[in-house]
Structure 1
């Protein structure tokens, strides 16, 4: 039988600092915003084909599969550019507080997602998606910063995993809405649903208090040098660059797979003899399975990162992403009866797509409070510019090769580059959040 001392140690290990009401409300506000952010992001992927099929002829272009693919890539690239510009929210949050700016990001992406439902041409849709991207890109940085600073140290790591599940719960929500509302009322109704986050932004603004860590440094932040300039000081330069590269890799790989996944499933389902309506519903089901896999990956990541370290955990997830993307789009997509193996591989791809949870945990550990939101926003945003460039390249390859699979499969190369960069990142396992 265990001794009294051993039982005491075991009890201490199981004990966690209880969360107060402010921390609980704040987390759910951030989680809800991140969930609706994910829903908004994936709505576009799900309604891409029907929206462009209607809008391209009104814009003077034939709605051929090639033109739909090319226009979809261009519009998604514009969305990523808007997402990249969202680094502006970071310095604002370091200056004016986390919750006010978090509410502003949610309000921005909700309004412009709703306006996308009024689009008459493909260019109007592109403008609205660009502006929605500016809001969406800032939400992750501010939600991640808030939870890292607000939750007690012994719960902060798992809090990052919990938070990240929200984004993929949003994927699942988008799939469910597309299966019901989208299938019944069309793509414009899907964008109208995106207005719902406005309510969340109001709740965040009125009910969630600023973190104590930010309040303590508020007075000194005004006197410090620009937070954007500070993340490129000798103290932080390498961390900023390395984190930006790693996030760029994650964005290129996961978004290429996730955005084109519905189109790939529709093609495979149609090839298997399904009607367009059934193929669209199958894509929604596949997206739901992808989301479930990713949520499991997000929850599995924090304990792994605590056990084997941040760097090795990211390496494991990057290898998993590279293999699953290559097999799904480079192999299963071209099988005679590839629908089932493709969807099975999507679940695996989703699990390793949970690598984004590591950045919610790891980035706040690398920067002090006075520059934390700026660093988080910068590192998570700049990769979108490179993602936009890659997306243009993917669109051109799809148009040239007349196939979707190989161009997406080639994005697995990005994770090989990421594996080479990981050793230059700092290992923060066992370290408290810096003040």
Structure 2
């Protein structure tokens, strides 16, 4: 027999605001964009070794493990710099609307990912990855802004969690493609698959309605057209929260990207050490990436209810502690065990779960800024960390080269989360507050 609490929960669920067709189509367009975003981002990590093995000799360099590692770090840093420059999309979205600019970001990263398949040397590959990064960073910010504004207040918090799962579903998709298409047809075929998001961008542009919140802000504040939204997020009202959010995202980016991007290489090394041949080791890396992705998707879905129960700041603290511990244990301990493959992959699942901390920013950032500057703030805070991530990536590459090992340099990045824990109390707690207009 149902209890009073059961009836209350059922009544609450029954009264959830229904989504209209545009909101549903817009969400799936944004989710597909994030999925293909994640796929595009992780394709590079999966095809790094074969691509550079072919392209380095054509560029005048020997394809030694050390040169592959260094060139890979440099190219990934260029990708992060491109992602860092993607803050330019935010002011455009605040000026011209969410859907048009969102479609443009998807189109940009798709075209340049496809062009990477035509690279004749490392310089061309670096340029294409840089341009793809500019598009990818913008898509993340604008998809998050769109769902926050388009979905009803009683649904948008879980919407942030649902949306974030797309990025890691992309990791899983990239792993599956590498396991099949990559193994059969090589790295160029993997980049060609990245052209598919062009279709998504066309759907977004033609089928998705602009958010009511943005349209109301435009009608109420026509003077915003002549005002710099980038300047506005650093005025007295927003300066502190902009800086704090950017620092917290920088911490998340350094930790997760260090762990996730180098994870396939670490698994290949451990699988080879366990006696697998090159082909089986590559497949094991794909399996490990899939497990990492599943863990992160679960973490994304678990986060919004936790944030509603204990608050945004405490939730982020829990996820940061989990990230610090799992990165340190996976790369600093399991990686060096005589038979470390199984414990390393098990810790990757834990790392993936706490990597779902990015879902909090999709929920939390829109709550901190009003509509007229929301996309700019989201884009800036999610992009600026990429510059620091690029610097850290150079440092990781140098340490790997000098220390002749992958594990310890990655494990050191867990320190970033301790910095994040010290900064969290400076952020505003927005639990229970509605999205500002």
Q: Give the TM-score of the pair, scaled to structure 1.
A: 0.98
**Equivalence for 2:11:** 12
**Equivalence for 2:58:** 58
Over residues 246-295 of structure 1, what are the superposed CA-to-partner deviations in whole Å (9 max), with x where a residue is unaligned? Answer: 00000000000000000000000011111100000000000000000000
**Equivalence for 2:122:** 122
**Equivalence for 1:409:** 411
Alpha-carbon offset, residue 7 of structure 1: 7.3
Change (3 A) 1:200 1:6: closer
**Equivalence for 2:69:** 69
**Equivalence for 2:200:** 200
Q: Are 1:239 and 2:236 matched, yes or no?
A: no
**Whole-Å separation in 2 of the counterparts to 1:266 and 1:150:** 43
**Equivalence for 1:106:** 106
**Equivalence for 1:216:** 216
**Equivalence for 1:133:** 133
Conserved 8 A contact 1:145-1:372: yes
Aligned ranges 1:170-185 → 2 under 5 Å: 170-185=170-185
**Whole-Å separation in 2 of the counterparts to 1:103 and 1:2:** 47
**Equivalence for 1:389:** 391
**Whole-Å separation in 1 of the counterparts to 2:197 and 2:222:** 31
SS in 2 for 1:175: helix
Alpha-carbon offset, residue 22 of structure 1: 1.0
Alpha-carbon offset, residue 219 of structure 1: 3.3
**Whole-Å separation in 2 of the counterparts to 1:125 and 1:300:** 37
Change (3 A) 1:424 1:71: same
**Whole-Å separation in 2 of the counterparts to 1:250 and 1:25:** 30
Q: Are 1:146 and 2:136 matched, yes or no?
A: no
Over residues 24-53 of structure 1, what are the superposed CA-to-partner deviations in whole Å (9 max), with x where a residue is unaligned? Answer: 111001000110010000000000010011
Over residues 97-145 of structure 1, what are the superposed CA-to-partner deviations in whole Å (9 max), with x where a residue is unaligned? Answer: 0000000000000000000000011111000000000000000100000
Aligned ranges 1:348-363 → 2 under 5 Å: 348-363=350-365
SS in 2 for 1:117: helix
Question: What stretches of structure 2 of length at least 5 have no aligned partner?
Answer: none
**Whole-Å separation in 2 of the counterparts to 1:121 and 1:181:** 22
Structure 1 runs of 4+ aligned residues shifted over 2 Å read: 5-15, 219-222
**Whole-Å separation in 2 of the counterparts to 1:323 and 1:187:** 33
Question: What stretches of structure 1 of length at least 5 have no aligned partner?
Answer: none
SS in 1 for 2:405: coil
**Whole-Å separation in 2 of the counterparts to 1:204 and 1:291:** 25
Q: Are 1:364 and 2:363 matched, yes or no?
A: no
**Whole-Å separation in 1 of the counterparts to 2:214 and 2:136:** 22
SS in 1 for 2:89: helix
**Whole-Å separation in 2 of the counterparts to 1:11 and 1:43:** 42
Aligned pairs, number: 434
**Whole-Å separation in 1 of the counterparts to 2:126 and 2:233:** 32
SS in 1 for 2:118: coil
SS in 2 for 1:352: helix
Alpha-carbon offset, residue 9 of structure 1: 4.0
1:226 pairs, out of 213, 228, 246, with: 228
**Equivalence for 2:317:** 315
Which deviates the most, 360-369 or 6-15? 6-15
**Whole-Å separation in 2 of the counterparts to 1:222 and 1:280:** 55
Q: Give the TM-score of the pair, scaled to structure 2.
A: 0.98
